[in-house]
Amino acid sequence: MIRTRDEKMDYIKPLIKSLNVLKLYPSRYDEIKELYKCIKEYLETDNYRKIIKIEIKSINKRIVGVLASKHRENVYLKLENM
């Protein structure tokens, strides 16, 4: 079964809030802009699965995770050291 747009938004909103708490704004980091493009595509496409691996070299961190449309797979992003 595939997630609806509203279900996807329920997963994405807390992720965006976490990025804001960490002060990882798209206006400051081009890599976050890239992540937002992936999120937009995830929300607009029905059967979409994207593995996220984005390096933010200026702060020596990496964002990894999965944006999955199917219910059997978890949607997550995590920030880790490089």
Chain segment 22-42, per-residue pLDDT in tens: 999 999 999 999 999 999 999
The pLDDT mean for the chain works out to: 94
pTM of the model: 0.89
DSSP 3-state of 68: strand
Q: Is 77 exposed, middle or buried (0-12, 13-18, 19+ CB in 10 A)?
A: buried
Count of domains forming the chain: 1
44 pLDDT band, cuts 50/70/90, is very high
Residue 19 and residue 36 in contact, taking contact as beta carbons nearer than 8 Å: no
Range of the domain at 28: 5-81
Per-residue pLDDT at 47 exceeds 90: no
Per-residue pLDDT at 81 exceeds 90: yes
